[in-house]
Structure 1
């Protein structure tokens, strides 16, 4: 008699911009979706009616991560992202946290994945603010006294920070420096999960390519990757790194699929 397949934990990605989900966690999102786990993504910036929302929808469809869930704030570096809305970095912390708590309580994920504290290699201010808000929201979502009116309490079991170790920037760091971007990584000992996502490489790359406006430009990472030889590109996107932050003890439901 064969044993039943292991239960793959549900997964919510919380990222600053459309394309972050594919670049930073596309392999893990595709992996969990392939394991029949519920997967979803919340995107903090860009308006739901913007062209980049359409690209995001296409990328999430490829990854199996549902439909876009966009909070609609402005991008700190792009005034056209959400006309009439405040930039994410200018929005009140309580307001943004409440909006994300509502999403967490609605989706009820076992695991949440977001940016690391340094802002994902380039140190983008939206990445850093998203990190801060997600830390607060993941902890607050389980407390019924906090943010009443945003749904029944739900406590995710673990939080993973998508990151890059000092030893793992390699070709990617060199490519970013060439276009004048910073390269911020973390000490290797802070990485608690190194995920080989090569089995989901085709899916991840298709999701990255779905962000067509970024592929067409010179400086965004999708554009940089599209101009690379396939062998180098595979080395850059074939591994994902995470720092795990435990929130509650929940055996069997707190680790990314491997």
Structure 2
């Protein structure tokens, strides 16, 4: 399992728009520094309007073409007609699907949701976290999922998250539309990445998810109704918890460039 000559990053998220909201700045930052970047999205079919929006967002971020697993959103059955809901899919099946993308992309860094499933605890986010954690360990084992490609183990796994101290404003905004929020103790955050130099790219990627921006309750819609001076502090810093073991051999790459 030789390491690639270029740095590389793969993000695995539940829905189209998660990549822009949670790691858009990091994806743009790494791409600008010459890293290979890619995104796996667990829900929504490739023939839907949200797939087209995802493609536009990834183009803005320099993260390649959509890699969609095509399962149904837990709350939107029409997101993937004739496919099971992601949260009903056997964990082994979902893990193998993610392993296949890890082995194809061969990233040094893997990013996914935190164990809460991000601010709202969406069941698709939780399921994606669980399967990605398993896939991170399984991808490097030659006798696990042998049909998914040659083994490859990323050097680092990060969970996108929100610390208690920085979640207050978002919590208040989301409470207005009937949503509660989940955050973690500040000491659990191991990387706080200032993405100010790529803030315009991140915001354009968020706006690419037009169907979400036009609605009241999704976070892109909430953010779009704010003045820039109020919005920018909410999206300028991206927070992560490093989940991979401290004893992993070799150089351990960090998100901060």
TM-score > 0.5 by shorter chain: yes
| 1:250 and 2:250 are equivalent in the alignment | yes
- Secondary structure of the 1:149 match is helix
Report the CA distance between 1:172 and its aligned residue.
Answer: 1.2
Q: Give the Å deviation of 1:257.
A: 2.9
Alignment map for 1:206-221 (pairs within 5 Å): 206-221=204-219
In the alignment, which of 123, 132, 155 is matched to residue 157 of structure 1? Answer: 155
CA contact (8 A) 2:191 2:256 kept: no
Counterpart-to-counterpart distance in 1, 2:9 and 2:213: 26
Q: What are the residue-to-residue correspondences of 1:79-94 with 2, within 5 Å?
A: 79-94=77-92
More deviation, 7-16/166-175: 7-16
Q: Which moved more, 1:164-173 or 1:128-137?
A: 164-173
TM-fit CA distance, 1:245: 1.8
Task: Give the superposition deviation at 1:254.
Answer: 1.8
Structure-1 residue corresponding to 2:171: 173
Task: Measure how far apart 1:249 and its partner are.
Answer: 2.7
**Offset of residue 8 of structure 1:** 6.9
Matches within 5 A, 1:65-214: 65-214=63-212
What stretches of structure 1 of length at least 5 have no aligned partner?
Answer: 1-6
Q: Note if contact 1:8-1:35 (Cα within 8 Å) is conserved in structure 2.
A: no
Is this contact kept in 2: 1:171–1:232, CA < 8 A?
no
Once residues 88 and 105 of structure 2 are traced to their aligned partners in structure 1, the CA distance between those partners, rounded to angstroms, is: 26
Following TM superposition, the consecutive aligned residue runs of length 4 or more in structure 1 with deviations greater than 2 angstroms are: 246-250
SS in structure 2 opposite 1:242? strand
**Given that residues 74 and 83 in structure 1 are in contact (C-alpha distance below 8 angstroms), is that contact kept between their aligned partners in structure 2?**
yes
In the aligned structure 2, how far is the partner of 1:255 from the partner of 1:124?
Answer: 27
The 8 Å contact of residues 191 and 239 in structure 2, kept in 1 or not, is answered as: yes
In the superposition, the TM-score normalised over structure 1's length comes to: 0.95
1:22 is aligned to 20
What is the CA distance between 1:246 and its match in structure 2?
2.5
Consecutive unaligned residues in structure 2, runs of 5 or more: none
Q: Distance in 2 between matches of 1:34 and 1:55?
A: 22
Instruction: Measure the CA separation in 2 of the matches of 1:249 and 1:112.
Output: 16
Task: Note if contact 2:41-2:66 (Cα within 8 Å) is conserved in structure 1.
Answer: yes
1:75-122 deviations in whole A, cap 9, x for unaligned?
001111101000000011111111110010000000000000011010
- Root-mean-square deviation (CA), in Å? 1.1
Distance (Å, rounded) in 2 between the aligned partners of 1:57 and 1:29 = 14
Question: Are the structure 2 counterparts of residues 224 and 8 from structure 1 closer, same or farther at C-alpha, using a change threshold of 3 Å?
Answer: farther
Contact map agreement 1:9 1:256 (CA 8 A) in 2: no
Alpha-carbon separation, structure 1, partners of 2:244 and 2:74: 30
Deviation of the 1:57 alpha carbon: 0.1
48, 51, 59: which one pairs with 1:50?
48
